[in-house]
Amino acid sequence: MQRQNSFKYESQRLASWYFTVAVILFGAQLLLGLVAAVQFIYPSFLYDVLDFSVARMIHINALVVWMVYAIIGSVYYLLPEETGIETVGIGIAKILFWVLTIAVAIVVLVFLFIQIGPAKTSTIWFINEGREYLEAPRWADIGIVVVVVGFVVNTFLTAIKGRRTGVITVILADLIALAGLYLAGMFYTDNIAMDQYWWWWVIHLWVEATWEVLVGAFAAYALIKIVGAKRQIVEMWLWIEVAMLFGSGILGLGHHYFWIGTPEYWWEIGALFSSLEPVPLIGMFVHVLYDWGKDKGERMGEGEEDVTSNNTPALVWLVINGFGNFLGAGVWGFFHTLPQVNIYTHGTQFTAAHGHLAFFGAYATILIAMFYMAIQGKNGIKKLRATFASKMAIFLLSFGMLGMTVALTIAGYEQVMIERAQLGGTWSAYFVAQNEVWMAQAMDWRFFMGIVMTIGFIYLVKDLWTIGRNPQNVY
Amino acid sequence: MSKRKVSVWTDNRFWQRSAAWVTGVAAVLLIWLTFDTMGQIRMGNQKDIDAHIDKRVPSPTVINYKIGYKMNAKRGLEVPTIGGSDANGNSLFTVKQKFFGRDNYTQKEADALVNLGKLGEQSKNCMDCHTLLGNGGYYAPDLTKAWLDPAWGKNGPMQAITGTHSRAEAMATFLQHPGRYPMHARRMPNLHITAREAKGLVAFLKQMATIDTNGFPRGFGKIKEANYAETK
Ligand code: HEM
Ligand code: HEM
Ligand SMILES: [Fe+2]
C-alpha cells in the first residue's frame, strides 16, 4: 500500500475510498446472489439458517449501496477537475465516509445475524424495514440522509466557489432530487397500496430518472476526458438527454401503477410515457459512438498518428454502457411496459430478467468505467491500455449477464404462459410452472452464468489492483 | 465558434431551459395526479360498507364479510366483491363470514389487526420471497389474492392438513409452522410467527385480497381442473 499516488486533489483520494468499498460490496452482492440462485435449485440449502429472503435482501441492498458508493465516489472524483478547485469541506466529507461505512457494516451484520424481528415498530426502526430494496432499518435511513445531505452540501459549495460547468450544474440539481426522493420511502403505513405507491417513487424515480441523468453526466465527463470530445457539444447533448429522460421517466412512473390499487387512468399515462423512455437511451448510445468516431476522425484528419483513446478499458465499458442501457432498460423494459402485457408478466421471472440486465447495462458498466478513470488518475497515467485481465473481465461479466438474462427471460416466458395465462396464478399454478423442466433448466443456467460472472469479477478486481502499477499497460 | 451565427438548436442555453421546463411540467403533472390518486386509495371504513360504496382499498372490517373475486360486467375485468355479489359482479355488502369465530369486529379491532399484520409483513420480510400486489421476490407464490386461493377453501387440501375448519384458521396455523406443512420441496421457513401475529397477518391478507387491482391477477383460481393437478 505504500505506493505513491498522483491524485491532484484530496477529493480524488476520498473518491478512491468510496470506490474500494463499492468493489467489496459488489463482491458481496455476487456471493449472496449465488446463494439465492442455489436455493432455487436446492431449496434445502441453508434453509432456516440463511433463508432465500435474507440472501436476496443482502443481494439487492449490496447492489444499491455499492452503486450509491460508486456514484458518490464518481462525483468526488470529477468535482475538483470540473470546478478547478479542491472540494470544499473535504475534512467533513472524509468523516462522513466513515460514518456511512460503519452504518453500512452494522446494517449488514444485523441483516446476516438477526434477520427478522417481532411484528413491532421497533423492528422497523432497528432490524429490518421489510420493503424490497429499502430494507435498511429507519435509524440507518436517517443516517444515510444526514451523510447524503452533507455530500450534497459539499458539492454545492464547491460548485458555487469554483467553475460551474454544465456537467456540474446537471449533477448538482440531480443529486438534490435524488436525495429528496429517498424521503418518500421513509414512513410507515398500514395501507399496502399507499405503501407501494410511494415505494415506487423512490425505486422508479431513482433508476429511471435521476440515476439515468447521472449516467448522462458521467458519460459526458468521461467522453471529454477519454476521447477529448468538445465540451460545448457534449453538454448540449446532456441537456437534451435531461429533457428527454425526465420528460418520459417522471410520468413513466405510471407503469408501476397498473395493479396496485391505483386508478385505471394510470394504464394510459404509464403506457404512453414509459414507452417513450427508451428514446433517450437510444440517443445516449448513438451519442457515445458518434463522439468517439467523430473525434477519432477529426484527429486523423489533422494528421495525428495515435488516435486511440487515452483509457481503453474505461472507453470499452462506456460503450458497453451505451448499448447495455439501451438493451436492458430500453428493450427489456419496453417488452413488459404495456398494461396488456404487464398484466401477465407482472412479478415474474421476466421482471427479474429485465432488472438484472438493466442494472448491469445502465449502471454497473459506467461505474466500472469510472473505476478505471480513477486508476488512471491515481497513477498519473497518460494512456491506459487494456490488459488480458481487463478483457476477461469485460467479456465474462457482460457475457455472463447476457446469458443470465436469456435464461431468466425463458423462465419468465414459461411462467407467464403456464402459471398466469393457462392456470390463473394460484399457489398450485405457481408451482406447476416452477416445476416445469424449462424453469428448472433456466435456473441451472442462471446459476452457471452467475459463476461465469463471478470469475469475471475476480479478473476485474485483479485488474483494478494491478493495471496501474504495471508499466507495460501504460504508455 | 463564437463568430459563426449560432442557431437556436445548437444553443446550450436553449436546451437547458427546455430541460428545466419539461421537468417542471412533468413534475407538476405527477404531483397533481398524486393528489387525485391519494384520494382514491385512502383506506375506507365501515361507513362505506354500510352505505354500499366501493372503495379501491376497503375498510379493515371486511374481515367480517365473505369476499370474492368476480368478473364485473361494467368494468370488464375481475373486481373483488364484499359480502356476496349480484349477477353483474357487484358487491352486496351483506353476506357475513366468521373470522376466527367472530363476524362482529369493530372498526378499532379490525384496524388494529390489519395494522399488526402489516407490521408483521414488514418485520418478517415476506416481500423478499413473495410478491404482494405483484411486487417483491419471485421465490414463492403471489399473495395478492392468497386469501381466495382454492387451496385454503373447503375443497382444498389445507384445512385438512392443518386440522382446521376455516380458511382463517388454516392460514394462521400454516404461518406459525410452515415447515410442518410442506406442500412442495421449496418450503417456507419458520419465521417465529406467534399466534397473535398470525391472526394479524391473516387479517392483512384478507383485506389485501379486497383491494381493487384492476383485474390482476387475471382469472385467479378460475381453472378448477388445474388447481390440484400437481398435488394428486
Ligand atoms: C436503467 C434503468 C432501469 C433499471 C435499473 C430498471 C430496473 C428495474 C427493476 C429492478 C425492476 C423490478 C422492481 C421490483 O423488484 O419489483 C423493474 C421493473 C420494471 N421496469 Fe425497469 N428498469 C429500468 C428502466 C426501465 C425502462 C426504460 C422501462 C420501460 C420502457 C422499464 C419498465 C419496467 C416495468 C414495466 C417494470 C415492472 C415489472 C413488473 O410489473 O413486474 N424499466 N425495473
Ligand atoms: C452472480 C451473479 C448473480 C446471481 C447468481 C444473481 C441471482 C439473483 C437472484 C436469485 C435473485 C432473486 C430473484 C427472485 O426473486 O426470484 C436476484 C435478484 C436481483 N438481482 Fe441478481 N444475481 C446476480 C448478479 C446481479 C447483478 C450483477 C445485478 C445488477 C447489476 C443484479 C441485480 C439484481 C436485482 C435488481 C434483483 C431484483 C430483481 C427484481 O426484483 O426483479 N444481480 N439475483
Ligand atoms: Fe419503472
Per-residue pLDDT tens over the stretch B176-196: 999 999 999 999 999 999 999
Mean pLDDT of chain A: 95
Average pLDDT over residues A216-227: 94
Does residue A45 lie within any of the structural domains? yes
For residue A65, is it within any domain? yes
Answer whether residue B164 shows pLDDT above 70. yes
- Overall domain count for chain A: 1
In a domain, A306, yes or no: no
**Which residue's alpha carbon is nearest to atom 8 within ligand 1?**
A355
* Cell numbers representing residue A77 in the block: 472524483
Share of chain A above pLDDT 70, in %: 98
Q: What whole-number distance in Å separates Cα of residue A404 and Cα of residue A423?
A: 26
Which residues in chain A touch residue B54, judged by CB atoms under 8 angstroms apart?
Answer: none
B91 and B85 Cβ atoms separated by less than 8 Å: yes
Residue A75 structural domain: 1-163
A453: three-class secondary structure by DSSP: helix
pLDDT recorded at residue B6: 66
Of A416, A83, A191, A312, residue with least CA distance to B57: A191
For a ligand 2 pocket test, name from A59, A321, A365, A430 the mutation site with the most ligand atoms within 8 angstroms of its C-beta: A59
- In angstroms, rounded to a whole number, what is the distance separating the alpha carbons of residues B58 and B42? 9
Residue B109, pLDDT > 80, answer yes
Mean pLDDT calculated for residue range A164-168 = 94
- How do the domains of chain B map onto residue ranges? 8-41, 46-227
Query: How far from A241 is each of A213, A245, A315, B56, CA to CA, in Å?
Result: 8, 6, 20, 37
Q: Which segments of A52-165 does DSSP mark as H helices, in order? A: 52-83, 90-113, 121-126, 138-161
pLDDT tier at A287, thresholds 50, 70, 90: confident
Measure the CA–CA gap between A43 and A451, rounded to whole angstroms.
Answer: 19
Which chain A positions have a beta carbon within 8 Å of B110's beta carbon? none
Q: Write down the H helix ranges in chain B.
A: 12-41, 46-50, 107-123, 158-162, 167-176, 195-209, 224-227
Ligand 3 ion: Cβ-proximal residues, 5 Å cutoff = A 204, 208
| Structural domain includes residue A399 | no
Q: What are phi and psi of B65, to 5 degrees?
A: -115, 160
- Cα distances from A346 to residues A259, B96, B132, in angstroms, run 9, 32, 11
The whole-number average pLDDT for the span B120-132 is 98
pLDDT in tens, A378-388: 988 989 999 99
Q: Is A198 a member of any domain? A: no
For chain A, percent helix, then strand, then coil, each to nearest 5? 80, 0, 20
Task: Tell me the pLDDT tens digit for each residue of B196-232.
Answer: 999 999 999 999 999 999 999 999 988 765 555 444 3
Q: Which ligand is nearest to the CA of A337?
A: 1
Ligand index nearest the alpha carbon of residue A254? 3
- Has the ipTM of the complex gone over 0.85? yes
| Residue of A190, A266, A352 with shortest CB distance to B115 | A190
Do A379 and A311 contact (CB within 8 A), yes or no? Answer: no
- Find, among B18, B33, B56, B211, the residue nearest to A272 by Cα: B33
Q: Please list, in sequence order, all residues whose beta carbon lies within 8 angstroms of the beta carbon of residue A334, skipping any fewer than 6 positions away.
A: A275, A277, A278
CA distances from B59 to B64, B137, B197 (A): 10, 27, 20
pLDDT tens readout for residues A434-474: 999 999 999 999 999 999 999 999 999 999 999 988 877 77
C-alpha distances out from residue A374 to A163, A228, A292, A308, A426, Å:
21, 17, 20, 19, 51
Q: Are strands B67-72 and B135-136 parallel, antiparallel or unpaired?
A: unpaired
Q: What is the pLDDT of residues A333-373, one digit of tens each?
A: 999 999 999 999 999 999 999 999 999 999 999 999 999 99
Q: How confident is the model at residue B1 (pLDDT cuts 50, 70, 90)?
A: very low
